């Protein structure tokens, strides 16, 4: 069994030689497959030197002890190609000659290769049987086809090719419905076919959010999170999988490095100064990889580089710690989990670290489906000091017909620079079924601004600036403050970070964060979800509704961003402020762009009940998108935070906006430029509709939230279009 603690074995001598090509187990080299006997006498006479009167000697074979075998097996898992020094040390420890150790390792490598070949043959045989069965099923579906006119057997020659394909697809979908019904029966308690029709319940006025009645009450159906079930059902790799995972990770690392460092003809210049991958050249350069592109998937490949204000050690730690990774990239990673750590690395760092993971990636809009991946992440420090972190999908180990996205080798190279900076080269290469994306988001997704390398690098650069600001040792002169201490400044930034993370969990298409999607809400273009909040100090107790909608406006993203973040124009769109004047009480800059900041706003409302309302707001922007996120906060609790108190106990319900370019636009000089076209704006609200978690959600509450979000959208459209005129 592979164990990350093997590095601590007392029999591991001089493991510093494990870098380069032989540092990770399972990398097989063809020139080492020679089989020799375990112990042959090296000085045995031969030919004319042999005494004719002497009887020929039998070759001497020596059976290794159980301890010798165990120690060499353990060493082999870490280093299948020991050098001379390691063989001598191991032989001296075990009482063997270096030549005996050498032959044992050669034989072991040959044995492992044979096992891998048998396993691959078994996989190919199973795939062949699967294809044969699928072919037979299609033939049977065609033979059972009936004529739509007379009901008799259809003559295949009379049906068009498209019609035949549709009939086959219908048969496949019927099987899929039966399978999903079985899954639903397991979790809900009865088959989907037994659920009453929605229309018969629309007259009801409430919905019970109790788990026992989930999904069947009052015209609201808790949509089964099939995507969530898929990721949650994925388990860690088996022992038989691990050697193949290691081999795949090593090959992926080599591919990533070449993808990051190569130029033409592999990468050719494209529009908007974005490198475009030549698929034909890619297939010639990497003929093996993870196999051919599955039917129905589209390739997306992009590359981007930048210099960020963070040292390489911290960058590697962020990428290899799933919690930090999810937090820093919360706008892209809606959830992630490490299933198993195969290696923690050597020498106290992440060099050689290997972990199997699942993750879900999102765009801040309910109109873009999330992308789910099951993959291995491998980290390695190379001879020149460059660090590399690579992901590659493991779908081939467990093929899943529901999988709609897989990652070819993707990741980044990190080069150390002076003064604590790092140069990052990022490569994203995926194959995805994107047919469910709404038409208004297709240009931005196809351009790579939604899921591509440019978005990852822009997000990383902005977050590095934010982290640098939070670690400042004094209060910058540019900060407008009612904050008098560094502790208060850090507490406010920490509270804003939690607010942004909470907003991102409810704005995208993911339903994995304890939200229950509601249908039949009376609005097709507003996605409404609900959740119970109990015993969570960071959220007010009760029933919370989250509503989100996305739309296009013909105004550049920067203009929309500046309008929404400006406290002086807030009364033009914020219904809840009742037209009151808004004053900025505190301002913390956390990036080079003046739009990257955290603010504390006071609403001077004519309504006496809102005269003490404060609003915490964070705005952030980069080349691929912008956010304006805010939440009402209690003035007494906020004073505790400003004094350096723990911000985790301040209840927040964040709302806000996500602004994306509608694709590469054309500037005044006729040149493609990001942000020169229109904007894709997502508006999302989280509202406490009942302070009692066990209460029933009224249909009127949903209608009110729908009206609120639609009214806000109309106000924003009118205001920005007027300002743009």
Instruction: Report the C-alpha dihedral over residues 322, 325, 329, 330, rounded to 10 degrees.
Output: 40
- In 252-316, DSSP assigns E strands to 267-269, 275-277, 298-308
- The span from the CA of 530 to the CA of 515, in Å, is 6
Instruction: Tell me which of 576 and 142 has the higher pLDDT.
Output: 576
> Which tokens belong to 62?
């020596």
Taking only the tens place, the pLDDT of each residue in 280-301 is 889 888 887 777 788 888 999 9
Say whether pLDDT at 246 is over 70.
yes
Query: CB of 599 within 8 A of CB of 617?
Result: yes
Residue 536, pLDDT > 90, answer no
Give pLDDT, residue 131. Answer: 82
Provide the domain limits for residue 641: 478-723
Model confidence pTM above 0.75? no
One domain, residues 408 and 508:
no
Query: In this structure, is residue 17 part of a structural domain?
Result: no
39 located within any domain: no
515 and 455 both lie in a single domain: no
Q: What are the distances in angstroms from CA 410 to CA 218, 272, 301, 507, 721?
A: 46, 22, 9, 26, 40
Q: What is the enclosing helix (H) or strand (E) of 359?
A: strand 354-361
Distance CA 547, CA 150 (A): 49
Quick: pLDDT tens for 89-134.
888 988 888 888 898 899 989 988 888 888 888 888 888 888 888 7
Q: Decide: 604 and 451 in contact? Cβ < 8 Å.
A: no
Same domain, 306 and 436: yes
Per-residue confidence (pLDDT) for residue 354, from 0 to 100? 93
User: Domain of 100: which CATH number?
Assistant: 1.10.10.60
Strands across the sheet with 516-518, in order?
A: 516-518, 527-533, 542-553, 679-690, 655-661, 625-633, 614-622, 597-604, 581-589
Residue 358 pLDDT grade (very low, low, confident, very high; cuts 50, 70, 90)? very high
CA 164 to chain centre: 38
The answer on 101 and 74 residing in a single domain is yes
Residue 560 lies in a domain: yes
- pLDDT given for residue 185 in this prediction: 39
pLDDT in tens, 639-656: 888 888 888 888 889 999
- Looking at the fold, whether 498 and 458 belong to one and the same domain comes out as no
8 Å CB contact between 351 and 345: yes
Residue among 495, 540, 534 nearest 514 (CA): 534
**Same domain (yes/no): 455, 516:** no
Going by pLDDT thresholds of 50, 70 and 90, the confidence category of residue 324 is very high
Average pLDDT over residues 544-559: 91
DSSP designation for 273: G
Cβ pair 305, 457 in contact under 8 A: yes
pLDDT value, residue 524: 58
pLDDT digits (tens, 9 = 90+) for 421-479: 999 999 999 999 988 899 999 999 988 889 999 999 999 999 999 888 887 766 665 55
pLDDT at 541 over 70: yes
- Residues 688, 717, single domain; the answer is yes
User: Distance of CA 609 to CAs 553, 606, 612, 628, Å?
Assistant: 35, 9, 8, 25
**Is the CB of residue 189 less than 8 Å from the CB of residue 198?**
no
- Does some domain include residue 645? yes
What is the Cβ-side half-sphere exposure of residue 488, based on CA atoms within 13 angstroms? 17
Token pair, residue 119, equals 């396993």
Least confident of 66-80, 154-168, 409-423, 469-483: 154-168
156 in a structural domain: no
Q: How many CA atoms lie less than 13 Å away from 545 in the CB half-sphere?
A: 24
User: 488 and 457 share a domain?
Assistant: no
Domain boundary among 469, 495, 524: 469
Q: Are residues 455 and 502 in the same domain?
A: no
Based on C-alpha coordinates, what's the Rg of the chain? 31
What would the two tokens of residue 87 be?
A: 């063989």
Between these two residues, 399 and 382, which has the higher pLDDT value?
382
The answer to whether the CB of 656 falls within 8 A of the CB of 547 is no
Within 45-160, residue ranges assigned H as helices are 66-78, 84-94, 98-143
Nearest to residue 618, comparing CAs of 649, 644, 646, 588? 588
Q: Report the C-alpha gap between 396 and 470 in whole angstroms.
A: 43
For 528-589, give the DSSP string: EEEEEE-S-TTS-SEEEEEEEEEEEESS-HHHHHHHHH-GGGGGGT-GGGTT-EEEEEEEEE
Number of independent structural domains in the chain: 3
Residue 10 vs residues 15, 74, 80, 267, 351: alpha-carbon distances, Å: 11, 11, 18, 48, 20
Q: Are residues 450 and 595 in the same domain?
A: no
- pLDDT-above-70 percentage for the chain: 70
Looking at residue 18, what is its pLDDT? Answer: 38
Residue 543 lies in a domain: yes
Task: List the CATH number of the domain containing 502.
Answer: 3.30.530.20
What's the distance, Cα to Cα, between the start and end of the chain in Å?
A: 68
Write down the pLDDT at residue 70.
87
On whether residue 33 sits in a domain, the answer given is no
Q: At what angle do helices 98-143 and 66-78 cross, to 10 degrees?
A: 60
Q: What is the per-residue pLDDT across 579-631, written as a single tens digit (0 to 9) for each?
A: 678 888 888 888 888 899 999 998 886 655 555 678 999 999 998 999 999 99
For residues 439 and 508, state if they share a domain. no
Query: For 392-426, what is each residue's pLDDT tens digit?
Result: 999 877 766 667 888 999 999 999 998 889 999 99
Q: How confident is the model at residue 516 (pLDDT cuts 50, 70, 90)?
A: low
Average pLDDT over residues 499-513: 78
- Asked if residue 445 and residue 423 are part of one domain, the reply reads yes
Residue 238 pLDDT > 70? yes
Burial status of residue 42 (CB atoms within 10 A of its CB: 0-12, 13-18, 19 or more): exposed
Provide the angle, in degrees to the nearest 10, between the axes of the packed helices 161-188 and 98-143.
110
Last residue of a domain, one of 445, 469, 493: 469
Q: Who wins on pLDDT, 185 or 152?
A: 152
Higher pLDDT, 135 or 109: 109
In a domain, 4, yes or no: no
Instruction: Report the distance separating Cα 79 and Cα 23, nearest Å.
Output: 6
The residue from 81, 112, 143 where one domain ends is 112
On the question of pLDDT at 328 being above 90, the answer is: yes
pLDDT value at residue 179: 47
User: Residue 91 is encoded by which pair of tokens?
Assistant: 């032989």
Tell me what pLDDT residue 725 has.
60
- Chain mean pLDDT for the chain: 76
């Amino acid at each position: 069994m592979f164990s990350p603690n093997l590095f601590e074995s007392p029999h591991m001598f001089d493991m510093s030689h494990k870098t380069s090509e032989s540092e990770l187990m399972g990398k097989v080299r063809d020139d080492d497959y020679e089989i020799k006997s375990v112990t042959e006498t090296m000085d045995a006479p031969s030919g004319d030197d042999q005494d004719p009167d002497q009887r020929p000697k039998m070759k001497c074979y020596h059976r290794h002890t159980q301890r010798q075998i165990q120690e060499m097996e353990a060493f082999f898992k870490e280093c299948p190609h020991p050098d001379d020094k390691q063989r001598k040390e191991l032989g001296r420890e075990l009482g063997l000659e270096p030549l005996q150790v050498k032959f044992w390792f050669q034989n072991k490598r040959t044995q492992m290769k044979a096992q891998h070949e048998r396993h691959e043959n078994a996989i190919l045989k199973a795939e062949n049987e699967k294809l044969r069965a699928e072919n037979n099923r299609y033939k049977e579906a065609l033979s059972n086809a009936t004529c739509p006119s007379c009901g008799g057997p259809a003559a295949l020659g009379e049906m068009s090719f498209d019609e035949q394909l549709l009939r086959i697809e219908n048969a496949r979908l019927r099987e899929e419905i039966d399978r999903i019904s079985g899954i639903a029966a397991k979790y809900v308690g009865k088959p989907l076919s037994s659920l009453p029709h929605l229309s018969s319940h629309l007259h009801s006025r409430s919905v019970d959010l109790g788990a026992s009645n989930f999904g069947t009450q009052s015209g609201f159906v808790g949509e089964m999170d099939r995507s969530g079930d898929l990721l949650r059902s994925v388990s860690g790799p088996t022992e038989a999988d691990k050697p193949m995972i290691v081999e795949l990770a090593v090959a992926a690392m080599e591919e990533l490095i070449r993808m990051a460092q190569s130029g033409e003809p592999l990468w050719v210049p494209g529009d908007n100064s974005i490198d475009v991958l030549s698929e034909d050249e890619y297939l010639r350069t990497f003929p093996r990889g993870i196999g051919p592109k599955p039917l129905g998937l589209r390739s997306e490949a992009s590359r981007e580089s930048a210099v960020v204000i963070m040292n390489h050690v911290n960058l590697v730690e962020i990428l290899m710690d799933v919690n930090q990774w999810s937090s820093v990239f919360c706008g892209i990673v809606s959830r992630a989990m490490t299933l198993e750590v195969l290696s923690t690395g050597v020498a106290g760092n992440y060099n050689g670290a290997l972990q199997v993971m699942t993750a879900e990636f999102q765009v801040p809009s309910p109109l873009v489906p999330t992308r789910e991946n099951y993959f291995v992440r491998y980290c390695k420090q190379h001879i020149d000091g460059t660090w590399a972190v690579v992901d590659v999908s493991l779908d081939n180990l467990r093929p899943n017909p529901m999988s709609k996205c897989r990652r070819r080798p993707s990741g980044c190279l990190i080069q150390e620079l002076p003064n604590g900076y790092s140069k990052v080269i990022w490569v994203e290469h995926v194959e995805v079924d994107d047919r469910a994306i709404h038409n208004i988001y297709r240009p931005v997704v196809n351009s790579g601004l939604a899921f591509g390398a440019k978005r990852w690098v822009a997000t990383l650069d902005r977050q590095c600036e934010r982290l640098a600001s939070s670690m400042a040792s004094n209060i910058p002169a540019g900060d407008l403050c009612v904050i008098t201490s560094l502790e208060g400044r850090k507490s406010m930034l920490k509270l804003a970070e939690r607010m942004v993370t909470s907003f991102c969990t409810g704005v995208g298409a993911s339903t994995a964060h304890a939200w229950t999607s509601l249908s039949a809400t009376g609005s097709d273009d507003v996605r409404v979800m609900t959740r119970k909040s109990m015993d969570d100090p960071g959220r007010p107790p009760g029933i919370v509704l989250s509503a989100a909608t996305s739309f296009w406006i013909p105004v550049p993203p920067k203009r929309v961003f500046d309008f929404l973040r400006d406290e002086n124009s807030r009364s033009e769109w914020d219904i809840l402020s009742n037209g009151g004047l808004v004053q900025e009480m505190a301002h913390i800059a956390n990036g080079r762009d003046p739009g990257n900041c955290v603010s504390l706003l006071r609403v001077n409302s004519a309504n006496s009940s809102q005269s003490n309302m404060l609003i915490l707001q964070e705005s952030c922007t980069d080349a691929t998108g912008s956010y304006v996120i805010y939440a009402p906060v209690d003035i007494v609790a906020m004073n505790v935070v400003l004094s350096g108190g723990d911000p985790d106990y301040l209840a927040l319900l964040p709302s806000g906006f996500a602004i994306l370019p509608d694709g590469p636009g054309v500037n005044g000089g006729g040149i493609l430029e990001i942000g020169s076209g229109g904007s894709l704006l997502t508006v999302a609200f989280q509202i406490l509709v009942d302070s009692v978690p066990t209460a029933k959600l009224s249909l009127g509450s949903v209608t009110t939230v729908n009206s609120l979000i639609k009214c806000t959208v109309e106000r924003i459209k009118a205001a920005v279009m007027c300002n743009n005129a």
